[in-house]
Structure 1
Amino acid sequence: MGKRRSYTEEFKRDAVELSINSNKTVQEIADDLGINYGNLTRWRKEYRDSGEHAFPGNGKQKLTPEQQKIKELEDELRETKLERDILKKAVGIFSKKPK
């Protein structure tokens, strides 16, 4: 089984821009660069969908400041709900009358 190749963000960006601005087909560009046609089409789609936030690398997302704030607020809300649920259980336990 072959080793999986990884490409830098810069390489992907350059390949996509070349495929967009060139008179060659996407298949020809992929062959010239020595990459898989499917990779290049996937990179083009990701670039079209995410623009400058495409190709973050290592599974990490590049978030806009608004998306980052939303993520932080969602994390804070999740933690607050957990604390609330724990306090509700504690109140239930301590409010029981002793036998």
Structure 2
Amino acid sequence: MAKTNGPARIKQYSLEFKLRAVQLSDQPGVLIKDVADSLCIHPFMLSVWRKQVRDGELMGDPPPLLPQEAAELQRLRDVERQFKRLQMEHDLLKKLSGLPPIEG
């Protein structure tokens, strides 16, 4: 078993990064999990930041949302919606054919 020397390192995020993450997660139809995954952070961390903004602990103006960011979020929502529909259709066809459904 490997030993660690010294205390564990904790990544520090800038106020701008936190506010941008909260701003992205506040977009309609966007899931916290998807934003967290795209930023390589844990969804719980993003939820904490969202609560801190609501409670006034994190304050500031996030940089404006760029048009390409909004377009990418919309594209992600569309792809996820299409994927869910296709997955339901696939599972229905599998049931009808008598084969076990795929796990996803």
**TM-score normalised to structure 2 length:** 0.46
**TM-score normalised to structure 1 length:** 0.48
Structure with higher RCO (Cα < 8 A, 6+ apart): 2
User: Where is the helix percentage greater, Structure 1 or Structure 2?
Assistant: 1
